[in-house]
């Protein structure tokens, strides 16, 4: 990997949550809103 080659740092893979997403496209925003709605959130602030 480039990071290992350039920095000498070992890269590790760790298990995470599919709900931990980066919103970069309009489609990502739709998914993020659906995840918040499933949690019972009625606003886009992430709180109930």
Look at residue 5 and tell me whether its pLDDT is greater than 70.
yes
Handedness of CA 3, 19, 43, 25 (dihedral sign): positive
Look at the pTM and tell me if it is higher than 0.75: no
Distance (Å, whole) CA 16 – CA 36 = 18
pLDDT band of residue 46 (cuts 50, 70, 90) is: low
Three-state helix/strand/coil letters over 3-46: HHHHHCCCCCCCCCCCCCCCCCCHHHHHHHHHHHHHCCCCCCCC
At 16-45, the pLDDT tens digits run 988 888 999 999 999 998 998 888 876 656
At 9-23, the pLDDT tens digits run 888 889 998 888 899
Handedness of CA 37, 38, 39, 40 (dihedral sign): positive
């Amino acid at each position: 990997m480039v990071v290992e080659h350039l920095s000498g740092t070992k890269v590790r893979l760790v298990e995470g949550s599919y709900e931990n997403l980066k919103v970069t496209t309009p489609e990502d925003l739709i998914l993020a809103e659906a995840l918040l709605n499933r949690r019972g959130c009625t606003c886009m602030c992430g709180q109930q």
